[in-house]
A = this chain, B = another copy of it.
Amino acid sequence: MTVQAVMAETSAIEWITDPALVRQRSRDFFWYSPVLKRQLNGVTAEAVACPKDEAEVIAVMAACVKHQVPLTPRGAGTGNYGQAMPLKGGVVLDLMGLNRVVWVKPGVVRAQAGIKLIELDAITRKEVRGELRFHPSTKRTASLGGFIAGGSSGIGSCTYGKLREAGNILGLRVITMEATPRVLELRGAEIDKANHAYGTNGIITELEMPLAPAWDWIDVLAEFPDTIAAARFSEALVASDGIAKKMAGVVAPGVAQSYFKPFMQLVAPGKAAALVMVAEPFLDLLAPLLERFGGRQVYSVPTEQAETPLYEFTWNHTTLQALKVDRSLTYLQTLFPAPHHFELVAKMDALFGDEVMQHLEFVRLGGVVSCFGLQLVRYTTEERLREIIRIHEDAGAPIFNPHAFTLEEGGMKRIDSEQLDFKRVADPHGLLNPGKMIAWDDPDWTPERKRGFYLYGQADAPAVEEVLE
C-alpha cells in the first residue's frame, strides 16, 4: 500500500482514486497501434495526483521517492505510443493544473508545463503578436510540457524544423526525482537531456519557448493529378523562404475523398490533395505555384474561422480522421531521404498499392527541405506490419516505429547516452515513467536484441473508450 502512504503524506493535494477515472488518465492514444493496443490495454496507475503548483509537484515527487513508488507524468494524454502510460503502475502526475504564463516578451514566452497550447497561443498572440513556432495537430487539447516531453514536430516545422533543433526550446525548468527534489534550469545544449525524454528523467514545470510572428493564417486545400505532383508543390512551397507558411501536407488520391468528412465532396475523385497554411499577405503567391504543378485550389478559409482547422487533417490527425471511418487502419512514420525521396515514394506506392496510402508532410530537417511520411496502413497482422516496415527500411526509408512504447525503439533507434546520464542524476532510483528508457534497464541494448517487459495491470482488461473527437 505504498501509494496510500504517498497520498497520506500529500493529502492537501487533489488525488483521483476512482479506478475508472484513474484508468482513463492512465491512457493515451496508444490504440492507434494494434500492437500497442494488445500490449498496453491493461496498463493502469493506482492513483492520479493533480497538483496546482510546483510546490505540490515537488511534494508528490518527494513522497514517491520516500516510498519508492513509480511516478509517470502526464499532460493531456494525447501521445500516440503510450508515452504517458504507467507501465509499472504507481502514481500518474497530472500536470494540467500548472497552466499559467510566467512571463511573455516579444519573441519569447515562459509558461508552466500544463498550459494548453491553444491557450498559450491565444495569450501570446494578444500580448506580443507571437505564437509558438510550431505545434502538434493536437493544439486544441495538448499541453506544452507534454509536447516537449513526448512530441517532436508539427504545424510550423516546415519553417523551423523539429523541437530537437537548437533554438526551438530556450529553457526547461526540471525537478529531479530525489529524496529532496532539486530544481534545475536547463538551457542551450543541455535542453536535449530532457527534451523528448517521455518524462523519464525529470518533471518539467516551466518552459521558455521562442515565438514566431502570429500571422493571420489561411487554410488552403488544393487537388492535384497525383501524389507526386502534390508533393512537388508542397516541397516547392517549403523551399520558398519568402513565403510565410505553416504547413504543407499531402495525401494520396482517395484519402481526402474517403476520410476527410468536411472535404470529401471538394476533392475530385482520383485526385491527390495538398493541405497548406499560408500567411494572408502571401496567399496570392500560391497561384503560380499551383499552376506549375497542375494543382487547383478547392478550399480556402482563415484558420481562425474554419469550422475545423485544416491542421486537424494533417500529421497524426490524418490517421485519426481515417480511424473515424475505418477502425482497421493504422499508420507508419517514415523519412523519405532526399534526393531520392520521390522515387522511394513511387516505389512504395507500386509495391503496396492500397495497403499503404501515402500521407506526406514536408518539413525542414537540419536546414534541408525534407519529406516525412505518416502513411495510412490497412492493418492485417503484426507480422505483415513488421514486414512493411522492413521493406521500407531496406529500401532506404527509415521508420520511426509508432508501434513501440520505448524511447529507443520509436524515434532514436539507439541509446541516447546524454539522456541516460541525466537520468542517473535526475532519477537515481529509476522511478520516473519506468520501462520507457530501455537503456536504464539494459545499458547494452542494441536494436537487434529482443526485450521482455513487465506491465502493471491486467492484459485482458476491458477496453476503455477510444476518443475519436
Contacts and interface: CB of A to CB of B under 8 A. Distances in A.
A285 B240 contact: no
A126 B242 CA distance: 23
Nearest to A283: B188
Interface string A444-468: 0000000000000000000000000
A368 interface: yes
Contacts of A368: 239, 368
Contacts of A188: 284-285, 287-288
A270 interface: no
A289 B188 CA distance: 11
A128 B244 CA distance: 17
A167 interface: yes
A215 interface: yes
A287 B170 CA distance: 14
B288 A244 contact: no
Interface in A193-251: 210, 212-215, 238-244
Contact of A367 (B128, B239, B282): B239
Nearest to A165: B242
A107 B243 CA distance: 12
A107 B369 contact: no
A291 to B, nearest CB: 10
Interface residues of A, number: 42
Interface in A329-378: 364, 366-369
One complex includes copies of this chain to the number of: 2
A218 to B, nearest CB: 13
A160 B242 contact: yes
Name the prevailing secondary structure of the A interface residues: mixed
Interface string A135-164: 000000000000000000000000111000
A166 interface: yes
Interface in A63-118: 106-108
A214 B107 CA distance: 9
Nearest to A214: B106
A166 B107 contact: no
Given A165-B242, A241-B160, A243-B167, A107 B213 contact: yes
A266 interface: no
A241 B284 contact: no
Contacts of A165: 240-242
A108 B129 CA distance: 13
A161 B240 CA distance: 8
Contact of A161 (B241, B279, B369): B241
Nearest to A282: B167
A189 B288 contact: yes
Best-buried of A133, A239, A287, A364 by chain B (most CB within 10 Å): A239
A168 interface: yes
A38 interface: no
B215 A107 contact: yes
14 contacts: A106-B213, A106-B214, A107-B244, A108-B281, A128-B129, A160-B241, A160-B242, A166-B285, A167-B243, A168-B242, A213-B213, A239-B367, A241-B367, A367-B369
